[in-house]
Amino acid sequence: MSALDIIVEDPHLLVVNKPSGLLCVPGKTEPHCLAAQALVYNANCRVVHRLDMATSGLVVFAKSHEAQKGMGHLFERREIHKTYHAVVQGKPIQEQGDIDLPLICDWPNRPKQKVCYESGKSAQTHYQTVKYGQDNNVTLLHLTPITGRSHQLRVHCLELGHPILGDNLYNDGTTQTLAKRLLLHAAKLVFRHPITQQDMVITCESAFDHYLS
Protein backbone atom coordinates (compact mmCIF):
# COMPACT_ATOMS: atom_id res chain seq x y z
CA MET A 1 0.00 0.00 0.00
CA SER A 2 1.51 3.32 -1.07
CA ALA A 3 2.39 6.04 1.43
CA LEU A 4 0.10 8.99 1.99
CA ASP A 5 1.01 12.34 0.45
CA ILE A 6 0.48 14.42 3.58
CA ILE A 7 -0.06 18.15 3.05
CA VAL A 8 -1.05 19.28 6.57
CA GLU A 9 -1.35 17.46 9.89
CA ASP A 10 -2.14 18.56 13.43
CA PRO A 11 -3.51 16.72 16.50
CA HIS A 12 -7.06 16.94 15.10
CA LEU A 13 -6.92 16.82 11.29
CA LEU A 14 -4.99 15.06 8.55
CA VAL A 15 -5.07 16.59 5.05
CA VAL A 16 -3.67 14.54 2.18
CA ASN A 17 -3.31 14.77 -1.58
CA LYS A 18 -5.34 11.96 -3.16
CA PRO A 19 -4.03 10.66 -6.48
CA SER A 20 -6.36 10.26 -9.43
CA GLY A 21 -7.67 6.70 -9.80
CA LEU A 22 -7.92 5.93 -6.09
CA LEU A 23 -11.24 5.57 -4.26
CA CYS A 24 -11.74 7.63 -1.10
CA VAL A 25 -13.65 4.81 0.64
CA PRO A 26 -13.95 1.08 -0.14
CA GLY A 27 -16.02 0.13 -3.19
CA LYS A 28 -18.20 -2.94 -3.62
CA THR A 29 -15.37 -4.91 -5.18
CA GLU A 30 -12.37 -2.68 -4.39
CA PRO A 31 -11.15 -2.52 -0.77
CA HIS A 32 -8.01 -0.53 -1.66
CA CYS A 33 -8.76 3.13 -0.94
CA LEU A 34 -7.48 6.34 0.62
CA ALA A 35 -9.38 5.75 3.88
CA ALA A 36 -7.62 2.40 4.32
CA GLN A 37 -4.25 4.08 3.83
CA ALA A 38 -5.19 6.74 6.39
CA LEU A 39 -6.17 4.09 8.95
CA VAL A 40 -2.83 2.36 8.54
CA TYR A 41 -1.12 5.69 9.18
CA ASN A 42 -3.35 6.58 12.14
CA ALA A 43 -6.04 4.24 13.48
CA ASN A 44 -8.14 7.22 14.63
CA CYS A 45 -8.64 8.68 11.13
CA ARG A 46 -12.29 9.22 10.21
CA VAL A 47 -13.75 10.11 6.82
CA VAL A 48 -15.00 13.71 6.53
CA HIS A 49 -15.73 14.07 2.80
CA ARG A 50 -14.92 12.44 -0.52
CA LEU A 51 -13.63 13.16 -4.00
CA ASP A 52 -14.57 11.22 -7.12
CA MET A 53 -12.20 8.36 -7.88
CA ALA A 54 -10.94 10.16 -11.00
CA THR A 55 -10.38 13.49 -9.21
CA SER A 56 -7.12 14.23 -7.40
CA GLY A 57 -6.37 16.68 -4.63
CA LEU A 58 -7.08 17.67 -1.05
CA VAL A 59 -9.00 15.30 1.22
CA VAL A 60 -9.49 15.90 4.95
CA PHE A 61 -9.60 13.19 7.62
CA ALA A 62 -10.58 13.86 11.23
CA LYS A 63 -8.56 12.24 14.02
CA SER A 64 -11.38 12.28 16.59
CA HIS A 65 -15.16 12.14 16.73
CA GLU A 66 -15.23 15.77 17.87
CA ALA A 67 -13.18 16.90 14.87
CA GLN A 68 -15.26 14.78 12.47
CA LYS A 69 -18.49 16.27 13.82
CA GLY A 70 -17.10 19.81 13.58
CA MET A 71 -15.89 19.36 10.00
CA GLY A 72 -19.22 17.80 9.08
CA HIS A 73 -21.04 20.89 10.32
CA LEU A 74 -18.73 23.13 8.27
CA PHE A 75 -19.52 21.17 5.10
CA GLU A 76 -23.25 21.17 5.85
CA ARG A 77 -23.27 24.94 6.37
CA ARG A 78 -21.09 25.49 3.27
CA GLU A 79 -18.43 27.14 5.39
CA ILE A 80 -15.61 25.33 3.64
CA HIS A 81 -14.55 27.16 0.49
CA LYS A 82 -13.07 24.94 -2.22
CA THR A 83 -11.14 25.72 -5.38
CA TYR A 84 -10.51 23.16 -8.11
CA HIS A 85 -8.16 23.28 -11.08
CA ALA A 86 -9.50 21.90 -14.36
CA VAL A 87 -8.14 21.78 -17.89
CA VAL A 88 -10.96 22.04 -20.40
CA GLN A 89 -11.25 21.86 -24.15
CA GLY A 90 -11.44 25.22 -25.93
CA LYS A 91 -11.64 28.68 -24.39
CA PRO A 92 -14.70 30.17 -22.65
CA ILE A 93 -15.95 33.40 -24.24
CA GLN A 94 -16.07 35.12 -20.85
CA GLU A 95 -13.00 35.05 -18.60
CA GLN A 96 -15.19 34.39 -15.59
CA GLY A 97 -18.79 33.63 -14.87
CA ASP A 98 -21.34 31.64 -12.92
CA ILE A 99 -23.00 28.41 -14.01
CA ASP A 100 -26.42 27.82 -12.46
CA LEU A 101 -27.89 24.53 -13.71
CA PRO A 102 -29.90 22.09 -11.56
CA LEU A 103 -28.69 18.50 -11.53
CA ILE A 104 -30.27 15.09 -11.04
CA CYS A 105 -29.08 11.51 -11.38
CA ASP A 106 -29.45 10.10 -14.90
CA TRP A 107 -30.81 6.79 -13.62
CA PRO A 108 -30.62 4.75 -16.85
CA ASN A 109 -26.98 5.82 -17.14
CA ARG A 110 -25.97 6.11 -13.47
CA PRO A 111 -23.67 7.22 -11.95
CA LYS A 112 -23.93 9.96 -14.58
CA GLN A 113 -25.77 13.17 -13.68
CA LYS A 114 -27.75 15.44 -15.97
CA VAL A 115 -29.34 18.87 -16.04
CA CYS A 116 -33.04 18.81 -15.18
CA TYR A 117 -35.00 22.02 -14.67
CA GLU A 118 -38.13 20.19 -13.48
CA SER A 119 -36.79 18.08 -10.62
CA GLY A 120 -33.03 18.70 -10.43
CA LYS A 121 -31.36 20.03 -7.30
CA SER A 122 -29.94 23.54 -7.35
CA ALA A 123 -26.28 23.62 -8.40
CA GLN A 124 -23.98 26.62 -8.88
CA THR A 125 -20.34 26.90 -9.92
CA HIS A 126 -18.12 29.95 -10.41
CA TYR A 127 -15.37 29.67 -13.00
CA GLN A 128 -12.29 31.80 -13.68
CA THR A 129 -10.01 31.51 -16.72
CA VAL A 130 -6.38 31.29 -15.63
CA LYS A 131 -4.37 30.35 -18.70
CA TYR A 132 -5.06 29.46 -22.33
CA GLY A 133 -2.90 26.99 -24.23
CA GLN A 134 -3.27 28.07 -27.84
CA ASP A 135 -1.26 25.19 -29.33
CA ASN A 136 -3.57 22.58 -27.80
CA ASN A 137 -6.69 24.78 -27.62
CA VAL A 138 -7.19 24.05 -23.93
CA THR A 139 -7.77 26.30 -20.92
CA LEU A 140 -6.87 26.04 -17.24
CA LEU A 141 -9.86 27.05 -15.13
CA HIS A 142 -10.24 27.67 -11.43
CA LEU A 143 -13.63 26.32 -10.38
CA THR A 144 -15.40 27.28 -7.17
CA PRO A 145 -18.40 25.09 -6.39
CA ILE A 146 -21.08 26.96 -4.45
CA THR A 147 -23.03 23.75 -3.97
CA GLY A 148 -21.67 20.22 -3.77
CA ARG A 149 -23.68 18.02 -6.12
CA SER A 150 -22.29 14.77 -7.46
CA HIS A 151 -20.20 15.32 -10.62
CA GLN A 152 -21.22 19.00 -10.50
CA LEU A 153 -18.03 20.44 -11.95
CA ARG A 154 -17.80 17.84 -14.70
CA VAL A 155 -21.40 18.38 -15.87
CA HIS A 156 -21.26 22.16 -15.54
CA CYS A 157 -18.11 22.38 -17.66
CA LEU A 158 -19.70 20.09 -20.24
CA GLU A 159 -22.82 22.26 -20.37
CA LEU A 160 -20.65 25.36 -20.67
CA GLY A 161 -19.35 23.82 -23.87
CA HIS A 162 -15.89 23.08 -22.48
CA PRO A 163 -15.64 19.49 -21.18
CA ILE A 164 -12.80 18.56 -18.85
CA LEU A 165 -9.99 16.64 -20.52
CA GLY A 166 -9.63 12.96 -19.72
CA ASP A 167 -13.23 12.51 -18.58
CA ASN A 168 -14.42 8.96 -19.29
CA LEU A 169 -18.03 9.72 -18.31
CA TYR A 170 -18.75 13.13 -19.82
CA ASN A 171 -16.88 13.42 -23.10
CA ASP A 172 -17.58 14.18 -26.73
CA GLY A 173 -15.40 11.38 -28.10
CA THR A 174 -12.19 13.42 -28.22
CA THR A 175 -11.64 14.94 -24.78
CA GLN A 176 -11.16 11.51 -23.21
CA THR A 177 -8.18 10.84 -25.48
CA LEU A 178 -6.46 14.16 -24.78
CA ALA A 179 -5.32 13.11 -21.28
CA LYS A 180 -4.74 9.80 -19.55
CA ARG A 181 -6.64 10.94 -16.47
CA LEU A 182 -9.41 13.38 -15.57
CA LEU A 183 -7.75 16.81 -15.34
CA LEU A 184 -9.66 17.90 -12.25
CA HIS A 185 -7.82 18.61 -9.01
CA ALA A 186 -9.00 19.87 -5.59
CA ALA A 187 -6.34 22.53 -5.07
CA LYS A 188 -7.45 24.73 -2.16
CA LEU A 189 -9.51 24.53 1.04
CA VAL A 190 -10.33 27.53 3.22
CA PHE A 191 -12.13 27.06 6.54
CA ARG A 192 -12.03 27.77 10.25
CA HIS A 193 -10.54 24.90 12.19
CA PRO A 194 -13.39 23.23 14.13
CA ILE A 195 -11.28 22.72 17.28
CA THR A 196 -8.69 25.50 17.40
CA GLN A 197 -10.80 28.08 15.50
CA GLN A 198 -7.69 28.97 13.49
CA ASP A 199 -8.26 30.22 9.94
CA MET A 200 -6.97 27.49 7.63
CA VAL A 201 -5.82 28.03 4.03
CA ILE A 202 -4.55 24.73 2.60
CA THR A 203 -3.24 24.47 -0.94
CA CYS A 204 -1.96 21.71 -3.18
CA GLU A 205 -1.14 22.78 -6.71
CA SER A 206 -2.08 20.65 -9.71
CA ALA A 207 0.50 19.40 -12.18
CA PHE A 208 -1.44 20.40 -15.28
CA ASP A 209 0.83 23.10 -16.73
CA HIS A 210 2.40 20.86 -19.36
CA TYR A 211 -1.02 20.33 -20.97
CA LEU A 212 -1.09 24.05 -21.78
CA SER A 213 2.30 24.29 -23.50
- Quickly count: other Cβ atoms within 10 Å of residue 14's Cβ: 23
Burial (CB < 10 A; 0-12, 13-18, 19+), residue 132, is middle
**CA angle (94, 100, 105) in 5-degree steps:** 130
Q: Which residues of 74-112 are buried (b: 16+ CB within 10 A; e: fewer)?
A: beeeeebebbbbbbbbeebeeeeeebebbbbbeeeeeee
On the CB side of 198, CA atoms within 13 Å amount to: 7
Cα–Cα distance measured from residue 37 to residue 32, given in angstroms and rounded to the nearest whole number: 8
The catalytically annotated residue of 5, 10, 52, 209 is: 52
> Is residue 52 annotated as part of the catalytic site, yes or no?
yes
φ and ψ at 65, to 5 degrees?
Answer: -65, -40
Burial (CB < 10 A; 0-12, 13-18, 19+), residue 163, is buried
Q: Which residues contact 26 (CB under 8 A, 6 or more apart)?
A: 32, 33, 35, 36
Catalytic residue ranges: 52
